[in-house]
Structure 1
Amino acid sequence: MKIVPVAYLSSYLLSLLGNSIAAVALPLIVLQVTGSALSAGIVAAATAVPAVLAGLFMGVVIDRINRRTSSVVTDLVSAASVAALPVIDMITGLSVGWFVLFGIVGSLGDVPGMTARDALLPAIVRHGSIASERLVGIRESLGAGALLIGPAAAGTLMVVFDGSTLLWITATTSLVAALLTLLIPHSVGQIAEIPANASNSWTQLRDGWRVLLSSRFLVATTMLSVASMVVLAALQGLILPVYFTLEDQPGRLGFVLTALAAGMLVGGAIYAICGARIGRRTSFVAGLSGTTLGFALIATLSSTWVVFGGAFVVGLASGLFGSLLGVLMIERIPEDMKGRIMGTQNAVLTIAPSIGILGAALLTQYGSVKVAAIVLPGVWLLAMAVFTRSLLGNLEPENDQTTNDKTAVAIDA
């Protein structure tokens, strides 16, 4: 494999690993410093809104500057926001205000950073001489690996080191990710020159949203992803914790997450190896069917092992379906609008877990955990019934799958 895809995938893994460690470690460090669970909740809530807004509006910037540069800058922002905390701790001591401030700064790098890497994918395919199926499949597997390793690494590091040292380690992962991205030639991330009479940023942002909302294909892929995220977050974040608590087995929740990540790792690996041969329709059907079966198994709450099996099946199907969607995004989103469209998609996916957990909380409060477990997978079934048809006719590649010329705007027949 050439240096371009290796650098890209290594950077992606480290960046995601750093975020995964931080997601577990930062709330624990806030609790250690402040001694207040409310403070941890305030930090999480204060950083969520800026992350969504950054995802929505920074896409215009990503479509205007070199995408390799935007990937590097966002990783540096993430590294600086985390590294600032131990520095402040040495100088004045940390408080909730400092966690909120640098949490907001860090959120400005997280979703835009994800978008910048997504927008860079087509160029990596072109310059790395690698099939899009292989690249996206490997990326999905690496993401699952980070999901497996990150929480365990955070827990281990919290035992071995103090909070400040852990923050330095987390910041270093983002810094090394930025340095690895610099191994990608600057020309790879180059975008088409913006005309001197180009419309202003707000108009460009609206143009991106218009293309997204006017395309049945893009709406379908976005809504299926959102529905999957809503149901998965509801299961992970509330339904299963309540279920295992009622069963007096709270420690088993971690094994469900492990089964899910292991399934994703296997699914991504299968797509990376066989995706180009097994056919897109096969991957599509297997992904949708597997996700439905996995959600149904989990929803039964019949036994711990059935829940574990359902989580693995969901992960396996997600690895296949997520990889296929990644390839379709490379091919179908116009090159000059990737930042805006993918930024909007990532912003929506950022708020989807909160919607799922809130819905599960309401159903559990006014019904029961079993009611929530049965009703919420219905969100996935409804989305699949409404949007599947829009995707079936758009699975095969265009004549030129990497250029994304202007005809790609009219994705729907």
Structure 2
Amino acid sequence: MRRPLYGWLAADALSVTGTRVSMIAVPLFVLETTGSPTRTGLVALAEALPMVLAKVLGGPLIDRLGPRRVAITCDVGSVAAVGAIPLLHDAGLMAFPLLLVLVALAGALRGPGDAAKHAMVPTLVSEAGVPMERATGLSSTVERTASMLGAGLGGLLVASLGAANALLVDAVSFGLSALVLAWATRSLATPATAAAQDADPAAYVEQLRAGWRFLRGDRVLLGITVMVALTNLLDAAWASVLMPVWAVETGNGAKALGLLFAVFSGASAVGALVAAVWAARLPRYATYLVAFLVCGAPRFVVMALDSPLAVVVTVAVAAGFASGFLNPILGAVIFERIPAALVGRVSSLTTAMCFALLPFGGLLGGVLIAVVGLPFAMAACGVAYFAVTMLPALDPRWREMDERPVPARAAA
């Protein structure tokens, strides 16, 4: 039965769209109400840190209570946390410390909520009877498409309704996500297990350690996690600082910047959709290397060389399309290597580690530009990207990516 899978995808699309709206609305709301860039940065930090910490700490709870229950509960809680911001603002009761608390609560709910939805994938794949790459490819397509549309919708909502009212739309999206997920996956609902009822703190800590021991012991899984964390750091530097500075210094301006983001995201969504259909037939290891060769260093190099805009856009299209193959392949490898009993803990740890360096990407980009200038900063990030993503070519263990131990995992 595929209704749970398609319902999960629809719920994720709603949630991601709302999250992208808030990524635009929250900083603009803070700037409108305080006029302080410093406070805007504090709000971003207040959301990011609890999100990462809650991803790590929520893993055992996901395994105890079940990912479906955690995902729905976090979405419902997000309705209250996000919706309270515009409501309290309209009532004249929103002080900045209270805003920090609400944003931190929203981040703390988003962390385990996203991790729980992620942990549902093996069960959804088994229920739908589709290849793992099909599910991870569709998920990546939905995420990238919803991110692109959500960013555009966020800009339109803030411009037409104001930042506060845009946050109400974000709150509504979480409520709709919870309803769709609850309806579509009700056949997967399970009663509380004995492990879920065990509130022994020692048992919880041991479960957390068990997840880390497994991740640390699987060299391929740990390598993928570290690699993605480092590429996320470089991608954040590229998107948040290097590209905007390039747009200003070259005179291409905001229109060119928006065009590049749009074509990269759109091509990435197309690539993920193609991967959903074909990735199960492709050699994962070779596809990984080729995809990163295309989507990694070239986009940094063409900007470092001050190439014409047409060349930069062409490279962005190719890079976006290639990047669409990565999440379906890496996601399939990750889920197939994790035993069913540890999915919540290990997948929470991996996603938390992948996100951990994101807040420092803008800082890295800014420091590099200040020290060596934009061209050398672009080149340095491109070289680092190439090194990080191509090191697996020197390690024969990464060839284990081509193994598809589905029967072994099901038995586990």
| TM-score with structure 2 setting the length | 0.92
Quote the offset at 1:168 in angstroms.
Answer: 1.6
Whole-angstrom CA distance in 2 between matches of 1:285 and 1:190: 40
Whole-angstrom CA distance in 2 between matches of 1:392 and 1:102: 45
Correspondent of 1:232 among 232, 235, 239:
235
Whole-angstrom CA distance in 2 between matches of 1:404 and 1:56: 26
Whole-angstrom CA distance in 2 between matches of 1:376 and 1:110: 30
Find the residue that maps to 1:63 and give its secondary structure. helix
- Structure 1 position 286 matched with structure 2 position 290: yes
Quote the offset at 1:404 in angstroms.
Answer: 6.4
Report what 1:348 is aligned to.
Answer: 353
Report what 1:382 is aligned to.
Answer: 387
Whole-angstrom CA distance in 2 between matches of 1:338 and 1:132: 15
- Structure 1 position 219 matched with structure 2 position 222: yes
Find the residue that maps to 1:94 and give its secondary structure. coil
Quote the offset at 1:186 in angstroms.
Answer: 4.2
In structure 1, runs of 5+ residues without a counterpart are 406-413
- Structure 1 position 316 matched with structure 2 position 287: no
CA change 1:165–1:385 in 2 (3 A) is closer
AA at the equivalent of 2:225? T
Report what 1:184 is aligned to.
Answer: 184
Spell out, residue by residue over 1:132-170, the C-alpha distance to the aligned partner (whole angstroms, 9 max, x if none).
Answer: 222211111111111211111011111221334322211
Contact 2:275 2:328 in 1 (8 A): yes
Spell out, residue by residue over 1:155-191, the C-alpha distance to the aligned partner (whole angstroms, 9 max, x if none).
Answer: 1111221334322211111110011110234452549
AA at the equivalent of 2:181? T
- Structure 1 position 43 matched with structure 2 position 47: no
Spell out, residue by residue over 1:73-111, the C-alpha distance to the aligned partner (whole angstroms, 9 max, x if none).
Answer: 111122211111122123333232222111001001212
Identical-pair percentage? 24
In structure 2, runs of 5+ residues without a counterpart are none
Whole-angstrom CA distance in 2 between matches of 1:192 and 1:83: 30
CA change 1:248–1:177 in 2 (3 A) is same
Spell out, residue by residue over 1:114-149, the C-alpha distance to the aligned partner (whole angstroms, 9 max, x if none).
Answer: 211111000001112222222211111111111211
AA at the equivalent of 2:363? L
- Structure 1 position 394 matched with structure 2 position 401: yes
Contact 1:126 1:402 in 2 (8 A): no
Find the residue that maps to 2:172 and give its secondary structure. helix
CA change 1:14–1:88 in 2 (3 A) is same
Report what 1:138 is aligned to.
Answer: 138
The within-5 A match list for 1:67-216 is: 67-186=67-186, 188=188, 190=190, 193-194=193-194, 200-216=203-219
Report what 1:409 is aligned to.
Answer: none
Aligned length: 405
The Cα RMSD (Å) is 2.2
Quote the offset at 1:395 in angstroms.
Answer: 1.9
Contact 2:21 2:167 in 1 (8 A): no
Quote the offset at 1:197 in angstroms.
Answer: 11
Find the residue that maps to 2:29 and give its secondary structure. helix
Contact 1:221 1:391 in 2 (8 A): no
| TM-score with structure 1 setting the length | 0.91
AA at the equivalent of 1:374? A
Quote the offset at 1:21 in angstroms.
Answer: 0.7
Quote the offset at 1:242 in angstroms.
Answer: 1.0
Correspondent of 1:367 among 369, 372, 380:
372
Q: Which runs of 4+ in 1 moved over 4 A?
A: 189-199
Whole-angstrom CA distance in 1 between matches of 2:112 and 2:137: 22
Contact 2:56 2:349 in 1 (8 A): yes
Find the residue that maps to 2:410 and give its secondary structure. coil
Find the residue that maps to 1:86 and give its secondary structure. helix
